[in-house]
Amino acid sequence: MVAESICEELITILKNDNLSGKTHSVFKNALNIISNDNHFITFITIDKPMAPQAIRLFGIKSFLNYGIKKGMKISFRNGYIWVGGLNIKLATDKAFLWSPNPIFSYTKNQEEDILVKLSIMENYLHYSKSFCLPLLNALSRECKGFEAFSGKAYQDKSFDFINDRFLRFIDAFMKEEDSVTDLSKKIIGYGIGLTPSMDDFICGMMVSKIYLSHYFNHKVDKAIKTNSLIIKDIDGITTRVSEEMLKLSSKGYVNQDIRSLIISLISKTSIDEFEGNLIKVGEHGFSSGDDIISGIYTYSSLLFNQYGGGRSWRL
């Protein structure tokens, strides 16, 4: 087996000949590893988008076909990775280096064109599998511009207990208040999936905050600082996979498809390309992609309310 791409942040880790690890979880398109120094590393199949902390492999259609079990030993060596017990050697020395860093080298779109794309995103969400639509219904009662989600189709009494927590979190996040640290802990881990729906939503919000801070010429470092408050001391309150996703997205580190979507929203990119990126992200998992899109849509809409004129946050 041969690695096609490696996240560049893993190179230093892989040069440590004393590094070992164990398999954490095995899926058709992903194999998660926890190293002995607690790094979370993911092997992915060639048909998946490159992602932070990932190694993408040629020639594997499904990791489920190799008899890999949870807890198997993995040895990392300079130039290759060894899966103990199965005699599987993964060559890494010829792989392309992929950077997870946010990309700010784009031509900014006009605000009115971004609002058109947000309307397209809104229409998409109406027919999506996003678990978070009832929360947008709650948001519509506090903020102008979310009326499209105020209908009965988006009401669900099972969300009543979290609505207030959600609204207080959104308010603190938009105001960049320190209280967002405690408020985030009251909603992280809520929802369905290996990466719970609320975690996916927050991921979308945090990456949007970084890119839109750049778009509006705000300090990106300040956005990252606010995001860091959200993920402060979250160890153990959600799944390990989701915990890693939140920590990475707080720095703007997301997979290729999500990065392409947010860039195509704020850059001079055609509607067709934007819609294609929207569909790609929506295809991630059962509802994870749609929940991330909900987060991107929500933060982008609220920020344009504040700095693009028009609607206003009322809490």
What pLDDT score was predicted for residue 252? 98
CA 98 to CA 206: how far, in whole Å?
A: 21
CA 171 to CA 157: how far, in whole Å?
A: 22
What pLDDT score was predicted for residue 19? 85
Residue with tokens 């506090």: 142
CA 201 to CA 136: how far, in whole Å?
A: 11
CA 194 to CA 211: how far, in whole Å?
A: 26
Which residues, given as ranges, of the chain have pLDDT below 50? 310-315
Over residues 230-287, the pLDDT tens digits come to 999 999 999 999 999 999 999 999 999 999 999 999 999 999 999 999 999 999 999 9
Phi-psi region of 139 (alpha: psi -120 to 50; beta: other; left: phi over 0): alpha
Reduced to 3 states (helix: H, G, I; strand: E, B; else coil), residue 42 is strand
Contacts of 153 (CB under 8 A, 6+ apart): none
Q: What are the backbone dihedrals phi and psi of residue 42, each rounded to the nearest 5 degrees, phi first? A: -120, 125
Using alpha carbons only, give the angle 201, 204, 210 rounded to the nearest 5 degrees. Answer: 145
What pLDDT score was predicted for residue 313? 39
CA 288 to CA 281: how far, in whole Å?
A: 9
Reduced to 3 states (helix: H, G, I; strand: E, B; else coil), residue 178 is coil
Q: What are the backbone dihedrals phi and psi of residue 91, each rounded to the nearest 5 degrees, phi first? A: -80, 130
CA 229 to CA 108: how far, in whole Å?
A: 28
Chain mean pLDDT for the chain: 92
For the chain, what are the domain ranges?
A: 3-98, 111-307
- What does the DSSP 8-state code read for residue 128? S
Per CATH, the architecture of 3-98 is what? Beta Barrel (2.40)
Question: What DSSP line would sit under 189-213, residue for residue?
Answer: T-SSTTTTHHHHHHHHHHHHHHHHH
Count Cα neighbours of 59 within 13 Å in the Cβ-side half-sphere: 9
Over residues 287-302, the pLDDT tens digits come to 999 999 999 999 999 9
What pLDDT score was predicted for residue 312? 40
Q: Which of 230, 223, 231 is nearest to 207 (CA)?
A: 223
- What does the DSSP 8-state code read for residue 31? E
pTM (2 decimals)?
0.94
What pLDDT score was predicted for residue 308? 58
Residue with tokens 């993408």: 56
